[in-house]
Amino acid sequence: MARDALRRRLEFYRDLGFEDLYVRGGGAAPAGAEAPPEPEPEDAAGELRVIRDDIGDCTRCRLHEGRTNIVFGSGNPNARLVFVGEGPGADEDQQGEPFVGRAGQLLTRMIDGTSERIGLAIRRPDVYICNVVKCRPPGNRNPRRDEMEICGQFLKRQVLAIAPKAVCVLGGTAAQALLRSSVGITRLRGKWQEWEGIRVMPTFHPSYLLRPGGQHAKRPAFEDLKAVLTYCYLD
């Protein structure tokens, strides 16, 4: 686990253009070089803290211009199940927490309620919840491809640090970003996919379920959640 985390962090630095990295105690760094990376933490919570530190006060894309808070993610760092949404809305931006607005409250009820229906004691704090982009897109527009590419590197590290049994990806935009697919969510939902060796269940976004035309999608979303909770906690 620690070796994987170190490899991912080194890849991340390489992507940023740093070719030579120096290990503390492994020889003098050239004048003007950045401080060498800290030793990697062994546990997921520690890895998540490192990733959050790497994000810092991010200005890598235009979304930083309008944000109040970076919404990193919340929940159990050792979760067997990770939910991935699209990006923070107004409430999330204000509070710095994912899925706390109307759609978030529905997501919480869906997790808790579905779990209860299948005889599980899993509740929202037991899973981990995050988004493809960590800053609110202005006016709640969809995140753009370049914004998702830039922020997606952190999502990847975040999910691999947690190493869940499965990911439930919410809505077409997030599903397409994670799976690099152009298939719409209506066709994709309910069918297991794979990403980085982890099973992925795409389903409808809770805000879609709240729209007047989205009522019909509630039952399939419940079925998808049932499948993913069963796989993670009962199989």
Q: By the criterion CB under 6 A, which residues form the site for ligand URA?
A: 85-89, 92, 98-99, 101, 103-104, 131, 207
How far apart are CB 13 and ligand URA at their closest, in Å? Answer: 28
How far apart are CB 145 and ligand URA at their closest, in Å? Answer: 16
Cβ pair 73, 128 in contact under 8 A: yes
How far apart are CB 106 and ligand URA at their closest, in Å? Answer: 10
Q: Which residue is nearest to ligand URA (CB)?
A: 85
Pick the closer one to ligand URA by CB: 10 or 144: 144
Q: Report the alpha-carbon distance of residue 193 to residue 49 in Å, rounded.
A: 28
Cβ pair 174, 132 in contact under 8 A: yes
Give the number of other Cβ atoms within 10 Å of residue 19's Cβ: 6
Residue 129, strand partner residues: 74, 83
Pick the closer one to ligand URA by CB: 37 or 104: 104
How far apart are CB 142 and ligand URA at their closest, in Å? Answer: 10
Pick the closer one to ligand URA by CB: 131 or 203: 131
Which residues, at least 6 apart from 227, have a Cβ–Cβ distance to it below 8 Å?
190, 201
Pick the closer one to ligand URA by CB: 101 or 164: 101
How far apart are CB 179 and ligand URA at their closest, in Å? Answer: 16
Q: Residue 95 is which amino acid?
A: Q
Q: Provide the b/e sequence for 160-180 (b: ≥16 CB within 10 Å).
A: bbbbbebbbbbbbbbbbbbbe
Pick the closer one to ligand URA by CB: 5 or 200: 200
Q: Report the alpha-carbon distance of residue 9 to residue 107 in Å, rounded.
A: 32
How far apart are CB 187 and ligand URA at their closest, in Å? Answer: 20
Q: Report the alpha-carbon distance of residue 230 to residue 234 in Å, rounded.
A: 5
Cβ pair 218, 114 in contact under 8 A: no
Pick the closer one to ligand URA by CB: 101 or 172: 101
Grouping H, G, I as helix, E, B as strand and the rest as coil, residue 169 is strand
